[in-house]
Amino acid sequence: MWVCGALCRARAPAQLGQRLLPESSRRRPAAASFSASAEASRVRALVYGHHGDPAKVVELKNLELAAVGGSDVHVKMLAAPINPSDINMIQGNYGLLPQLPAVGGNEGVGQVIAVGSSVTGVKPGDWVIPANPGLGTWRTEAVFGEEELITVPSDIPLQSAATLGVNPCTAYRMLMDFERLRPGDSVIQNASNSGVGQAVIQIAAALGLRTINVLRDRPDLQKLTDRLKNLGADHVVTEEELRKHEMKSFFKDVPQPRLALNCVGGKSATELLRHLAPGGTMVTYGGMAKQPVIASVSQLIFKDLKLRGFWLSQWKKDHSPDQFKELILTLCDLIRRGQLAAPACSEVPLQDYPCALEASTQPFTSSKQILTM
């Protein structure tokens, strides 16, 4: 039996003082039984003890719920997505890695069940999301510190709340922080069908910005193009079309973008740079192709292009918790106004996690997997 002991109060990321019980079994065990005793309430969680292929290292285990202290909040998780960063974290190649063994998942929404005697910011019944990554959201219940949670309104759709804290925040900050864009300006992005990409399309439309959305060619291209345009995409082109000479004519009618958002790298990033307006900025927030970003000397000297990076975790370190809460509320207002919807999602019961993990790592996946508890 592994016991967290003193780590309970230290709140190691994704551990939070819960014990892995010996009756845990691999893959799809029977539902965990919940003890009537508050001292030994058991929950189910997706745990990994070492880094590697998620299909091989993630297990569904029974955990013992920690007691609720004075500043603690008992949360029943409702839904939690599987993001690329979650997969990278399990593989061990991410900028933030929790102490092992760890519970997977950095994002999700839960409902408050009970609060400690000194908790003032949340109450039973409230919906909450993680304030920072590393809490471990792929579980049925957990005890968190009040400072680790942000309250969100419960009148927004469940899928929107579950996917609120990472991708829409990244999209909004990239659109706001790097170039002073005005209505009518253009933004170009690759990986346009990703969670961030879909959020960029909608937030940009709400701000009066035009989007040029680049996709890899695929069998369901027209269906995906129609879906992105329904979200508010102005233009959708393939990687191959972006390389063609005809794009020069395209930019006679469409303003050259001042901002490019790169989640791919390699040749795709090079093409984004080629079409940027002089003095423009390319922001890299991912590297799906696992290839370096290459910029020519002429682009840097004669076009004065700027290369930047964005990581939401670093943005949070550089800003106060209240600023992050303000960002969340801004996005919730967009959701309420019908200007920001959750990405295309597939809800999967927690016990069927192998299917969800497999789907999350498949190429051309346009539906985000959301674990439901």
Q: What string of pLDDT tens digits covers the 373 residues of the chain?
A: 333 333 232 333 444 444 343 333 333 322 323 333 344 467 999 999 999 999 999 999 999 999 999 999 999 999 999 999 999 999 999 999 999 999 999 999 999 999 999 999 999 999 999 999 999 999 999 999 999 999 999 999 999 999 999 999 999 999 999 999 999 999 999 999 999 999 999 999 999 999 999 999 888 899 999 999 999 999 999 999 999 988 888 998 899 999 999 999 999 999 999 999 999 999 999 999 999 999 999 999 999 999 999 999 999 999 999 999 999 999 999 999 999 999 999 999 999 999 999 999 887 777 899 999 9
Domain boundary among 268, 298, 314: 314
Domain check: are 147 and 240 in the same one? Answer: no
Domain check: are 283 and 261 in the same one? Answer: yes
Q: What is the rounded CA–CA span in Å between residue 274 and residue 243?
A: 9
Residues 6+ apart with CB under 8 A from 318: none
Which tokens is 183 given? 């209505």
Q: Domain range for residue 105?
A: 43-163+343-372
The residues assigned a catalytic role are 94
Domain check: are 156 and 185 in the same one? Answer: no
Residue 16 included in any domain: no
Q: What is the rounded CA–CA span in Å between residue 358 and residue 361?
A: 5
- Is beta strand 345-349 parallel, antiparallel or unpaired with respect to 368-372? parallel
Domain check: are 131 and 222 in the same one? Answer: no
Domain check: are 179 and 155 in the same one? Answer: no
Q: What is the CATH number of the domain that holds 350?
A: 3.90.180.10
Give buried/exposed letters for 222-254 (b at 16+ CB in 10 A, else e).
Answer: eebbebbeebbbbbbbeeeebeeeebeeeeeee
On whether the pTM is more than 0.85, the answer is yes
Q: What is the rounded CA–CA span in Å between residue 77 and residue 136?
A: 11
Domain check: are 266 and 127 in the same one? Answer: no
Domain boundary among 295, 314, 333: 314
Residue 127 included in any domain: yes
Domain boundary among 314, 333, 363: 314
User: Based on the structure, what is the number of domains in the chain?
Assistant: 2
Residue 322 included in any domain: no
Tally of CB atoms within 10 A around 347: 15
Cis peptide before 183 (omega within 30 of 0): no
- Between the alpha carbon of residue 278 and those of residues 302, 307, 344, the distances in Å are 8, 13, 35
Q: Tokens 């864009």 belong to which residue? A: 181
Domain check: are 146 and 207 in the same one? Answer: no
- Note the pLDDT of residue 303: 96
Which tokens is 49 given? 């003890």
If you write DSSP's letter for every residue of 308-327 in order, what string do you get?
EE--HHHHHHHS-HHHHHHH
Residue 332 included in any domain: no
Q: What is the rounded CA–CA span in Å between residue 44 and residue 25?
A: 11
Domain check: are 157 and 171 in the same one? Answer: no
Residue 33 included in any domain: no
Domain check: are 308 and 359 in the same one? Answer: no
Residue 36 included in any domain: no
Domain check: are 172 and 290 in the same one? Answer: yes
Domain check: are 87 and 201 in the same one? Answer: no
Residue 235 included in any domain: yes
Q: What is the CATH number of the domain that holds 209?
A: 3.40.50.720
Residue 2 included in any domain: no
Domain check: are 279 and 349 in the same one? Answer: no
